[in-house]
Amino acid sequence: MLIIIAILAAGLFAFNIGASGSAASMGVAYGAKVIKKRKTALLLAGAGAIIGALWGGQHVTNTLGKGIISEDLIDVPVAAIILLVAGGTLLITNSIGIPLSTSEVTVGAIVGVGISFQQLYVTNILHIIILWLVIPFIAFMITFTFEKMRTKWQNRVKLKPSHKVLAVLLIFTGFFEAIAAGMNNVANALGPLVGADIMSMETGLPVFAVIVALGSILFGGKVLETNAKKITSLSLANGLVISSTTGVLVIIASLFGIPIPMTQVTTTAIVGISATKSWENVWKQKIIHQIVKVWVTSPIISLVIAYSLTEMIIQQSFYTVILLILTITITFVLIKYEVKAEKKIGKQTRREWQANE
């Protein structure tokens, strides 16, 4: 029975990953109206997710299956807890508009289980956390530098690249970003199943790649529209730099087995473009505060819930019921606050982009 629950939880998680993370990969091309039909953008996102998962999804899957806690600890009940916590948290927050990171939620849940058993690969966890900070910063610096160089070159030469050429390149880099999403994100649902020997890597990758793709195609429209609105004021050249930077960095991280928060990488890349217009004002933008909150809250929420459930169900330590109840209460209070803050941030961000045009 627990095996069925774990597989169903993983499937729901993968579907939700497609609807949230993978669908966003074509946001730049769609927002720039290079791809005019939403269905076309979602189909490309889904196809890219399948290619990415089959090409290199095994690296991050190995990390999540046995690189954070010993694979000896990940049995069927533990896998079910990890997937239910990670998938459930992401499903709830996505439905009410709070953008939590898929990778951070999954890692947090695994760490919560590890803390309960008092067995963690601390060095590996530190490497992951450091790269969660470093890679978005690199994305910021790349887009900032390229935009500075592009502006200087354009002012000197007074020559603009062909619109058609930029449009084709933007579609290509958007698809490249979708491949990166597939490489990194499919592992979040599959890793615990592989670690618990519920499903093999060879069987799981194609199956969950298809599930993620279906989530993207069938339910990714809302996320695609939301991400498209963020970049409507950017030029095709800006979009090209943002999309290619995100794709390259996430693929490199995936090849090294690092589960990376792709949304944060894309957002900091966009902020890098904005910083070329007003460096000082960037750090005053509320979207920066939102990114920090997401980085902190994503793993902590899933960590505490996973720890509490492991203590209750597996360790039979029922005093943690109080901790779990408190955690859920605090989480919903924070979510209520974040929903209101998100609406204000969205309005302010649109005004800031319009002012910088």
Chain segment 30-70, per-residue pLDDT in tens: 887 888 898 999 999 999 999 999 999 999 999 999 899 98
Q: pLDDT of 151-180, one tens digit each? A: 887 767 666 667 788 889 999 999 999 999
**Whole-number pLDDT of residue 324:** 67
Is pLDDT above 50 for 353?
no
| Neighbour count for residue 199 (Cβ, 10 Å) | 20
Q: 13 near 83, Cβ under 8 Å? A: yes
Identify the weakest region by mean pLDDT among 131-135, 147-151, 171-175: 147-151
Phi, psi of 162 (to 5 degrees): -60, 135
- Give the pLDDT band (50/70/90) at residue 252: very high
**Whole-number pLDDT of residue 25:** 82
Give the CA angle between residues 66, 138, 148 to the nearest 5°. 160
- Least Cα distance to 68 among 299, 328, 255 occurs for 299
Is pLDDT above 70 for 13?
yes
Q: pLDDT of 277-302, one tens digit each? A: 776 666 666 656 666 676 777 788 88
More confident residue, 151 or 331: 151
More confident residue, 28 or 328: 28
Alpha helices in 279-319 (DSSP H): 279-282, 286-313
Q: What CA–CA distance (Å, rounded) separates 146 from 188?
A: 32
Which value, to the nearest 10 degrees, does the dihedral of the CA atoms of residues 18, 23, 25, 27 take? -170
Residue type for 139, please?
Answer: A
Identify the weakest region by mean pLDDT among 77-81, 197-201, 245-249, 268-272: 268-272
Among residues of the chain, what percentage have pLDDT more than 90? 43
DSSP 176: H
Distances (CA, A) of 159 to 150, 153, 156, 162: 11, 9, 8, 9
Average pLDDT over residues 242-257: 94
**Whole-number pLDDT of residue 57:** 93
Q: DSSP assignment of 114-138, as one string?
A: HHHHT---HHHHHHHHHHHHHHHHH
Is pLDDT above 50 for 323?
yes
- Least Cα distance to 59 among 208, 183, 204 occurs for 183
In the block, tokens 């969660």 appear at: 132
Is pLDDT above 70 for 101?
yes
- Least Cα distance to 259 among 59, 99, 24 occurs for 59
Residue 71, C-beta contacts closer than 8 angstroms, at least 6 positions apart: 65, 195
Distances (CA, A) of 213 to 15, 83, 141: 8, 19, 31
- Least Cα distance to 244 among 209, 215, 273, 212 occurs for 273
Identify the weakest region by mean pLDDT among 86-90, 133-137, 216-220, 223-227: 223-227
Is pLDDT above 70 for 14?
yes
- Least Cα distance to 82 among 294, 299, 325 occurs for 299
Q: What CA–CA distance (Å, rounded) separates 103 from 184?
A: 8
More confident residue, 303 or 298: 303
DSSP 42: H
Is pLDDT above 50 for 244?
yes
Q: What CA–CA distance (Å, rounded) separates 21 from 321?
A: 32
The model's pTM is 0.84
**Whole-number pLDDT of residue 357:** 46
Work out the mean pLDDT of the chain and round it to a whole number. Answer: 83
Is pLDDT above 60 for 356?
no
CA atoms within 13 A on the CB side of 246: 36
CA atoms within 13 A on the CB side of 102: 34
Average pLDDT over residues 76-102: 79
Is pLDDT above 90 for 140?
yes
Q: 19 near 214, Cβ under 8 Å? A: no
